[in-house]
Amino acid sequence: MIFREATPSDFIQLHEVRMAVRENTLSNPNLITEKDYTEFITVRGKSWLCEIENKVVGFSIVDLKENNIWALFVHPDFEGKGIGKKLHKLMLDWYFEQTKEKVWLGTSPNTRAELFYEKQGWTAVGKKSNGEMGFEMTWEDWRAVIC
C-alpha cells in the first residue's frame, strides 16, 4: 500500500472509486466533475490516496474554504484493510496543522460510514436539511483521539 497526495491527474481513478461505493452513492455521476476534483485538490484544500499495484483504491479530500470533509471513500474490494483510517488520519493531521477551526462532514444515516466516523471520535450533530447525518470534529477532540 502506498499513500500519497493526490493530483488532478488522478481524477479518473478517484472518480472510479467514488462511483464504486455501495453506500453514500451519487444519484448522478455527472454531479461531480473533473473541474470539481481539481478545485478541491489544488485551490480549496488537499487530497490523499492509497494505491495498490498502481491502482487507486481509496482517497480523501478536505476543504479548507468550507472547513469540511469533501470526500473519504474506499473501493468496496479493499474495505477492512485500514485504508480509510489511514486516509482519515493523514487528512485531519494536515487540516489541523493549517487551522484550529472545527471541521464538519455529512454522510448518509444508518451506514457503515456513520459508524466509522463515530469510532474516529466525531460528534454527531443531527440530520442536515439534505437528510444526511452531520458530524463535527474540533481540534481538541482530534488531539484527544490521536494522543
What is the pLDDT, as a whole number, of residue 25?
A: 67
Which is more confidently placed, 66 or 25? 66
- The model's pLDDT over 106-121, given as tens digits with 9 standing for 90+, comes to 998 888 899 999 999 9
Provide the domain limits for residue 94: 2-146
Structural domain tally of the chain? 1
Cell 491502482 belongs to which residue? 55
Q: Burial code of 68-106, b = ≥16 C-beta within 10 A, e = fewer? A: bbbbbbbbeebeeeebbebbbbbbbebbbeeeeeebbbb
Q: Can you give the CATH number for the domain in which 44 is found?
A: 3.40.630.30
pTM: 0.91
Span 36-57, average pLDDT: 94
